[in-house]
A and B are shown apart, each in its own frame.
Chain A
Amino acid sequence: MSSWADTVSSAPPPATTASDRGAISARGLRRTFGDTVAVDTLDLDVPTGAVFGLLGPDGAGKSTLIRMLATVLVPTAGEASVFGHSVTTERDAVTPRIGYMSQRFSMYPDLSVAENLEFFATIRGVGRADRRTRSQALLASMGLDEFTRRQAQHLSGGMKQKLMLATTLMHEPDLLLLDEPTTGVDPVSRREFWRILAGLHRAGKTVLVATPYMDEAERCTHIAFLDGGRIKQSGTPESIKALVPGRLLEVSATDPRAALAVVRTLPGVASVHLLGDVVRVLWEAPSEPVGPLTSALVAAGLHGVGVREISPDMETVFAFLAEADAPPGAGSEVAS
């Protein structure tokens, strides 16, 4: 996945607007459902023009946060504004500027692609002429123009997501709130979807996108890691990666579990964990790691030993950050 050609981060810097508060500003935002705290007193700032990735596991509070920003859910406490307008007291000023795409498919299954676009654009107040030109342009750019007459229920997963995105774009919003738009979509469609997002970013739109896929974080200009309703880390992908101290190594051997047992005892090793057939090692010592590690493993009688340094991907970064955050002994595959 890291070989995706067209990444958002490589796009030119976004145009900024006059608004001091950025696209989104939230202070002390909180939402509970009965005894469950979904979003826990959270602050968030999304600069205008950003592609802001909201990462985190299921149940982290991503959807609740997005729904509050989209004005479809009222916060229990705290305040949030979109382009300077309160999401609770100035809904009418907020909704025309946002496009909200919910996590589940929310189009009319018995209406065709064109009819869904037409309907939602009409109630959004888009004029007839604009509806025609925009839907043609959007459908063509997303490769949906052959399917305009197909009922939404007969579209594939990826096409459904593209139809929803097209629908949220018909009224030309400045901010897109996308709740896991690529979940359950095949890899090719995911890449295609991010290509479209990159284009929107270049056009100056602000995008807040929730995703459980760590690899998608690298396509963003900013990311925040959400867990238990709170933001654990936030910043640019580079600044998050820089939070990982030391160097990252990948160790392979015919018996990776034995290799893990050997490596964790070595001086200079900060943490170790098993990822499939390889052992990921975080090396904290200032010395060169490859030689000592290789000789230690060979000396322990392991076969097929290979050690190489890798640049950390987001998945690894968050695994290490989560480990640093977690109490000792937590997490089954993480050695401390």
Chain B
Amino acid sequence: MMATLTRIGAIVVKEFRHLLRDPRMLLAVVITPVIQLLLFAYAISFDVENVPTLVVDLDQTQTSRTYLEQYEASPFFEVVAHGSTLADVDTAFDQNTARVAIVIQAGFARSLAAGEQAQVSVMVDGSEPNAAKVSQAYSVAINQLYTQQLTRQWADAQGLDLSSVGMLEPRVRTWYNPERRSSDFLIPGLMVVIIAIVTVQQTAVTLVRERDLGTEEQLEVSPLRKVELMVGKLLPWTLIAFAEVAMITGLGRTVFGIPMRGDFWALAVGAALFVFASLGMGLLISAVAPSLDTANILAMLIAFLPSFLLSGLAFALDQIPVVLQWISYGFPARYMVTISRGVFLKGAGFPEVWPELAALAVYAVVMIVISSVLYGRRARR
């Protein structure tokens, strides 16, 4: 037992020495995650604010101006220009000076006064679909509000009490992320991607490197067992992965102000299981990859793409094709993204995320067993 611990300790010390001697690796492990986090979190923003808006008021009445004030007051629209003809809309969209155009037809005030339906055109530049969708939704909302206002004014004028009539007033609330800030949504997911990249990539390379250096044979003629080697290789990366979880959590809380509503320990246990599952995947790659380059490419394919695309981070899992949904169950990232978002945003703890924790635990055990068997078989052939 003591001898086993001594040998594992020797591997751990050696792995840390490799890490400290290699500035590129250190950079990849410490600096890259921070850069990735900042880049992703700032660049991939689904927030819609201050959409440049052009208004064309062909009615030019007090009523039309009151209506347009709704847009001026909204934080989602920023009225950047006032046009006088429909042609101005084309020009503004072509030159990218506006993404939304509000056109009030002549006769707007007259129609309203007559109790008829008034026409307002809302044109949206569809080349940025997310912003387009949100702008459209907001302008519809503004119109509804304005209609309600008009109704209320009409009721007042008629001496009716609307509250006694029992009109429905819809109130839409977004739970867990009331301000709908995309960084709240992204960072817990990005954490998963970053851990996956670092752990899978490094372990994928680590055993292949022993083989390339010829040191594998020296390890084989020692009493060192395969399991001891695996554990010795996994421990440093587990520690590093934990440091990264802490670092990303810290950055997320301080720089991006994301909340931590749930049980931190559920997140920690999830992270540990996820790290083991990822390291297991890395070892599996190492056991089958014939060269360092192959190992690197395989790691990139297996670590990055599924955890980015099939985890619910970039696309909601119920909106991707069914086949891809099935495939997503084959990668640990989807479970961890659920845990991470649950804990950060929904205030989840062990009672809520235990199915995902169990899935990760099974995944980790299966991966490490398969890779140990494959690695053992491969040697001495």
Contacts and interface: CB of A to CB of B under 8 A. Distances in A.
Interface of A: 67, 70-74, 92, 95-96, 98, 100, 102, 104-111, 115, 119-120, 122-125, 151, 167
Given A73-B380, A120-B218, A109 B223 contact: no
B43 to A, nearest CB: 35
Interface in B241-288: none
Chief secondary structure at chain A's binding surface? loop
A120 to B, nearest CB: 6
Majority SS at the chain B contact face:
helix
11 contacts: A67-B217, A73-B380, A92-B223, A96-B223, A100-B217, A106-B217, A106-B218, A108-B213, A119-B10, A119-B14, A124-B222
Interface in B214-235: 214-215, 217-224
A122 B217 contact: no
Contacts of B221: 70-72, 95, 98, 100
Contact of A115 (B17, B219, B379, B380): B17
A65 B319 CA distance: 60
Given A106-B217, A110-B18, A125-B223, 17 more contacts: A71-B380, A72-B221, A72-B380, A74-B380, A102-B218, A105-B214, A106-B213, A106-B215, A107-B213, A111-B14, A122-B7, A122-B10, A123-B7, A123-B10, A123-B224, A125-B3, A125-B7
A123 B217 contact: no
B22 to A, nearest CB: 7
A67 to B, nearest CB: 8
Contacts of A102: 214, 217-218
Contact of B215 (A74, A107, A151): A107
A100 B218 contact: yes
Given A122-B10, A125-B3, A108 B217 contact: no
Q: Which of B17, B222, B381 has the most CB of A within 10 A?
A: B222
B21 interface: yes
B54 interface: no
A110 B3 contact: no
B220 A71 contact: yes
Contacts of A110: 17-18, 21-22
A109 B218 contact: no
Nearest to B10: A122
Interface of B: 3, 6-7, 9-11, 13-14, 17-18, 21-22, 213-215, 217-224, 379-381
Contacts of B213: 106-109
A95 B224 CA distance: 11
A72 B220 contact: yes
A50 B215 CA distance: 27
Contacts of B14: 108, 111, 115, 119
Nearest to A104: B214
Contacts of B379: 72
A230 to B, nearest CB: 23
Nearest to B219: A123
Contacts of A73: 380
Nearest to B223: A125
A329 to B, nearest CB: 41
Query: Among B3, B22, B223, which residue has the most Cβ atoms of chain A within 10 A?
Result: B223
Closest 10 CB pairs of A and B: A106-B214, A122-B10, A110-B21, A123-B222, A123-B224, A72-B217, A100-B221, A95-B221, A123-B7, A72-B220
Nearest to A110: B21
Contacts of A151: 21
Contacts of A167: 218
Contacts of A96: 223
Contacts of B223: 92, 95-96, 123-125
A167 B222 CA distance: 12
Contacts of B3: 125
B23 to A, nearest CB: 11
B208 to A, nearest CB: 14
A70 B216 CA distance: 13
A107 B217 CA distance: 10
A98 B218 CA distance: 11
Nearest to B220: A72
Contacts of A105: 214
Contact of A123 (B11, B17, B21): B11
A95 B220 CA distance: 9
